Every structure is written in C-alpha cells, then in structure tokens.
Amino acid sequence: MSLKFTEDHEWVLLEGDVATIGVSAYAQEQLGDVVFVEVPEVGAEIAKGDELAVVESVKAASEVYNPIGGEVVAVNEGLEGEPTLVNADPHGEGWFVKLKVSDPSEIAELMDEAAYKTFVEGLD
C-alpha cells in the first residue's frame, strides 16, 4: 500500500491494522536539521488529532499530530540517538511510531501521494 498524507504533513503507511506514522519530506525540509524527537510510550492510546510527537530542529520546535487514532505498539528508538534520521530518510528509517489502528476508515480521509504533491505545490 502507498503512503497517505495529511495537510499537517504527516504520512501514514497502513499494513493490516498497524499504521506507521512519520513526517513528510516537505515537513523535514521546512524544519531544517532535526536535533531531537520525543515520541509517546508504547501502550499509549492516542486519538486522531491529538499530539503524537514533538520534533525540535535548529529552527524551531514543532508538534506532530496523530492522523488516525490507535494504540502505540512500537516507537522508533533509533531517533533517540540519531534524530537526523528524520532528515536523512523521512519516509523510511525516520518513522516515529506504529499504531494499532482503532478505526481503519479514518485512513480514507487522508490524501494519496498525487493529491499531497498538488497540495504542497500550492503552498509555495
């Protein structure tokens, strides 16, 4: 399955009932060099729209909001020692959390890659 995106520049990859979530390449470019990422604890229940993570860069601190509700089943512990993974590979090794999705229909509300690309082009 392909990545889905939010207007807040998070991406979601749904595999079965588990969604991997991170920030888009566009978002990490806007942030600049990421120096710290705070993610929730495994087992946390996070509703759609709630704060999912905090990203600090050389430019600013920014909240990441949860695009779909669920329970955190894994966090990217590699970000603790190497937050620059967000810059180096935002759609891969720079992922933030994996959630067991509580309402899979929420994924339908997100943009596909083509729609997101058009959305981002409209921001410049």
Residue 72 has pLDDT above 80, yes or no: yes
Entry pTM:
0.95
4-102 is classed in which CATH architecture? Beta Barrel (2.40)
Q: State the alpha helices, DSSP H only, in the chain.
A: 25-31, 78-81, 85-88, 113-121
Q: Report how far residue 48's alpha carbon sits from residue 102's, in angstroms, rounded to the nearest whole number.
A: 10
Give the integer Cα–Cα distance in Å for 107 and 51.
18
Strands (E) in 76-112, as ranges, are: 97-101
- Determine phi and psi for 79, rounding to 5 degrees: -70, -25
Percentage of residues of the chain with pLDDT beyond 70: 99
